[in-house]
Amino acid sequence: MENKMNLEEVVSGELVASGPETTMEDLASLMESEGVGSVAILDPHGDFLGIVTDRDIVRAVAEGQSRAVAAKDFMTVMVDTIDLNTDVADAVDWMNATGYRHLPVTQNGRLIGMVSIKDLLWAIAST
């Protein structure tokens, strides 16, 4: 029988998040210091607004946007989230189908972390 692994076994650490007014430069610094490729953008009440990824920053720079541009002006507004109890293989399938490299992870409807395709591949490789 095959052992199934869910996202609960993959998602770890604190959620790296910031606000919609955070500048691109500050987000890039945050990603570098935290060793992550994405930052959740939350409103003052902690509600999920979107995500800024390393790709979003590259795209914004390539388009000539200022380093001082606010997250709200270049973030990816995401409606899609994935539940913590989702099977890793299903999460990989979802990422393949959508083209996402990072997915917000929820538990009981509340954002608790992010998972990247790299995280999922490491999890699969370690089983």
The per-residue pLDDT string of the chain (127 residues; one tens digit each, 9 = 90 and over) reads: 356 888 988 987 789 999 999 999 999 999 999 999 999 999 999 999 999 999 999 999 999 999 999 999 999 997 789 999 999 999 999 999 999 999 999 999 889 999 999 999 888 888 7
| pLDDT score, position 44 | 95
* Cα–Cα distance list, 72 to 15, 87, 125 (Å): 18, 31, 36
78-83: long-range contacts at Cβ-Cβ below 8 A with a sequence spacing of 24 or more? 78/48, 78/50, 78/51, 78/104, 80/104, 81/48, 81/105, 81/106, 81/111, 82/7, 82/106, 82/115, 83/7, 83/107
| pLDDT score, position 123 | 86
Are 103 and 88 in contact, with CB atoms under 8 Å apart?
no
| Domain range list for the chain | 7-125
The letter for the amino acid at 86 is: T
| pLDDT score, position 1 | 38
- Residue 41, beta-bridge partner list: 18, 50
Is 7-125 a CATH 3.20.20.480 domain? Answer: no
Are 49 and 78 in contact, with CB atoms under 8 Å apart?
no
